[in-house]
Amino acid sequence: MSRADTIAAIATAPGRAGIGVVRVSGSGVRAIIAGILGRVPQPRTATLHNFHDAAGGTLDRGLALFFAAPHSYTGEDVLELHGHGGAAVLQLVLRRCLDLGARPAQPGEFTRRAFLNDKLDLAQAESVADLIDASSEAAARGAMRSLAGEFSARIDHLVSALIELRALVEATLDFPDEESDFLERGDAFKRLARLRAELGEVQRAAEQGRILREGARCVLVGQPNVGKSSLLNRLAGDEVAIVTEIPGTTRDPLRHELVIDGVPVHVIDTAGLRESQEPIEKIGIERAWREIGQADLAMLVVDVTRGMANADRAILAKLQEKVKKIFIFNKIDLSGDPPSLCELDDRVEIRVSAKSGAGLELLRANILRAVGWRPVEEMQFMARERHLRALQQADAALARAAAVRAKAIELFAEELRLAQQALGEITGQFSADDLLGEIFSRFCIGK
């Protein structure tokens, strides 16, 4: 991809619609305007035009919008042609733009140019895709906050504070005999403590943003015939899983997406966990453990009429420590127990009936609590796994800096530099080309 090229793409979704948009960006936009419209429209004003073919005939009739550089989405000259939304007519208009010198845009190339031309930072650019892909109102609002720069502003504040601290620390390198006194007078260690505290707040908010963007992965686990598939059906409000009295009915993991209080939740039903010599069931059990290893929450389902059996305890012993857990005692319609929630020191127990639905509201509310969701709307912005990794790297570097302190000032300064570099990767201040390629390849064409 060359930034000197003029690029064009259909910017609306495939299929029939009332309106479709062809977008063009680059230095050759005015030449394309001359060929397809005949004259350059007044910038930032929608005007009605015929869209002409090479012979002067009319391909379509619609609105044209011209944005002169640098006052456009990409920072380049941009033309948008709003015509009828049929696939054939949009392809005719796009082909005319290509004949006039544009080339087909790659996925995310318009937004990539916006980033490269300093119209957006990298976190904001990613939030464009997040806004398009948002599966709930809360996710859409979070993506909009990121696009507006709220996440970036918090990162920029951390980077500014780090730069000030780095300047102080590196200045002491010129006065090796007075390092400790110089740092104490400059309040270096208290500044570092404040930085770490603020970074911790951003990490917690970013984890909320990760849940909002990706959804929480919650896996139903337990012995065969404890009611996992019935619970999935009850949570989904539909018969999405086959339910029979035959043990081992569920083989492959079955996924269904719910939205609980605006948060996407991926509930995954898995094969019943037990010792089995049946080859297909064994594969299903292996896949169940694989899903558990990737989960935010393991929901261990127990038949309340039997209580915690040795087989349930064996499953519990194999669950990874890092996986958060809820104990669901199912079938209270048979035991006569009321729906209830019990919070113990090491776990939460919820008594429900998948058959009647009793206790399901308790379960829904506590799924979000268990994965760490905190509904504080003003703090919600989108975050991705790479953002969390960068924040973790910065936190680790600051922890090493705190451990070194004035004992080795060169190492102290280096750890601060590494922390700044990690934070800079979030907004794109430090970005490798292969990272940019990976990020923007996930966008839709036309954006």
Instruction: Write out pLDDT tens, residues 74-98.
Output: 999 999 999 999 999 999 999 999 9
Instruction: Write out pLDDT tens, residues 350-407.
Output: 999 988 989 998 998 889 888 888 766 555 688 888 999 999 999 999 999 998 876 7
**269 and 241 in contact (C-beta within 8 Å)?**
yes
**71 and 45 in contact (C-beta within 8 Å)?**
no
Nearest-angstrom CA–CA distance, 319 and 301: 13
Instruction: Write out pLDDT tens, residues 303-319.
Output: 999 888 888 888 888 77
Nearest-angstrom CA–CA distance, 51 and 90: 11
The dihedral region occupied by 241, where left means phi > 0, alpha psi between -120 and 50, and beta the remainder, is: beta
Fold (topology level) of 135-423: Rossmann fold (3.40.50)
| C-alpha torsion sign, points 101, 106, 110, 115 | negative
Q: Beta strands 216-222 and 17-25: pairing type?
A: unpaired
Instruction: Write out pLDDT tens, residues 136-147.
Output: 787 888 888 888
**442 and 107 in contact (C-beta within 8 Å)?**
yes
422 pLDDT tier (thresholds 50, 70, 90): very high
111 pLDDT tier (thresholds 50, 70, 90): very high
Strand order in the sheet with 103-104: 47-52, 58-67, 78-85, 17-25, 7-10, 103-104
Name which of 34, 20, 33, 25 is nearest 1 in CA terms.
25
Going from the C-alpha of 214 to that of each of 141, 143, 307, 336, the distances in angstroms are 14, 12, 34, 38
CB 318: neighbour CB atoms within 10 A? 11
Span 28-52, mean pLDDT? 95
Residue type, 302: V
**79 and 55 in contact (C-beta within 8 Å)?**
no
Nearest-angstrom CA–CA distance, 47 and 394: 50
Global pTM reads 0.72
Domain ranges (residues) in the chain: 7-121, 135-423
**Which one-letter DSSP state was computed for residue 79?**
E
Nearest-angstrom CA–CA distance, 420 and 195: 11
Nearest-angstrom CA–CA distance, 310 and 382: 42
CATH class of the domain comprising 7-121: alpha beta
